[in-house]
A and B are shown apart, each in its own frame.
Chain A
Amino acid sequence: MTLDDRLRALPTPALARDLTADVLNRIEQLERRRPAPAPEAPGRRLWGASRAEWATAVLAIMAAVALGVSITTGQLPLMSMSGVFRLGNLLTGPSDRLLFVTGLALYALGLFSSLRPDRRASTP
């Protein structure tokens, strides 16, 4: 019998006991330790509307105001970011501009939160 043959037939030392129960216990412990997915914090709602809905509404109002102003002054608003800021500049008073910028910021926040992946969807 060659060395290669002997190596192929190398004896397997017998396992003294069945490890199945230990393996299953350890897997169960592992699964118990896995953190449960954190529940999505409920968004603050004001009069039944979410942040995103309020932000959209505010921006829509501001856009309508800006459009009104632009029609009054005879300038056509552009639907680009620079156009949006130009619309903001068309607003007359500083408080209106502040409101417009706040609306924009809220809109961006609402957009950001609505674009985030829904973590609850990955829960088995």
Chain B
Amino acid sequence: MSTSDRDAVRAIRGGDREALVHLVQLYQGRLFGLVLMMVRNPAAAEEVTQDTFVRAYSHLDQYDDNRPFYPWLAAIAVRLSQNWLHQHSRTTRREGTALDAAPEPLADAGVLRSLIASERDRQLWQAVAALPSGERTAVLLYYREEMPVRDVAEALGVTTGTVKTLLFRARRHLHARLEAEDSIQEMRP
């Protein structure tokens, strides 16, 4: 944990609102990116990101100062995203449609283009977004958030062996999908 994070957490515990503002502004973009990839809906991602900060604030007494702050925050975000996905899937099931059949705002190329400029990055983003939920989360936490396997396992509530399996399968799926897309583009005139 960086000294500034530790100081900010201590200040928040002491009732300092400026320190809270500092941490929200520091991590909101990174956290939003993580949550958006999980829930795949920008409005829901904003909501879950806010929930994450509120939950972290109200449970700050459970945070161990000796551990890094962001992984703790990310673990809360993962749990809340999973809850959102669970509730969302239950709602869609009640309405008689499968989750996969539910419209995804990010399936709209225009929305994604506004979020990510590069075509190649968009392709990779979509490939990761199409992974099964467990693999997607493991990839995000391990690669994008650069969390060690042990922390990823803790955030997901699984063993380190399971995380390694999820990462292995994710890489295999991504290779297959990206190669398929490359060959389609090569065939285009």
User: Which A residues have a C-beta under 8 Å from some C-beta of B?
Assistant: 3-4, 6-8, 10-20, 22-24, 26-27, 30
Contact = CB atoms under 8 A, between A and B. Distances in A.
Interface stretch (B2-10, B139-147, B149-157): B139-147
Is chain A's interface secondary structure helix, strand, loop, or mixed overall?
A: helix
B49 A19 contact: yes
Contacts, number: 83
A10 B28 contact: no
A63 to B, nearest CB: 47
A12 B58 CA distance: 27
Interface in B101-126: 115-116, 118, 121, 124-125
Contacts of A24: 17, 20-21, 24
B124 A6 contact: yes
Contacts of A16: 42, 46
For the complex of A and B, the 7 pairs showing the least CB-CB separation, nearest first, are A12-B33, A13-B115, A7-B143, A11-B121, A15-B32, A23-B53, A20-B24
Given A8-B146, A16-B46, A26-B54, 4 more contacts: A3-B171, A11-B118, A20-B25, A27-B54
Interface of B: 17, 20-21, 24-25, 28-30, 32-33, 36, 42, 46, 49-50, 53-54, 57-58, 115-116, 118, 121, 124-125, 128, 139-140, 143-144, 146, 171, 174-175, 178
A20 B21 contact: yes
Given A12-B29, A13-B36, A14-B115, A23 B50 contact: yes
Nearest to A11: B121
A13 B33 contact: yes
B50 A10 contact: no
Nearest to A28: B17
Contacts of B25: 18, 20
A42 B36 CA distance: 53
A19 B32 CA distance: 10
Contacts of B128: 7, 10
Contacts of B33: 12-13, 15
B129 to A, nearest CB: 10
A102 B143 CA distance: 73
Nearest to B52: A23
A25 to B, nearest CB: 9
Contacts of A10: 121, 124-125, 128, 140, 143-144
Contact of B125 (A11, A14, A23): A11
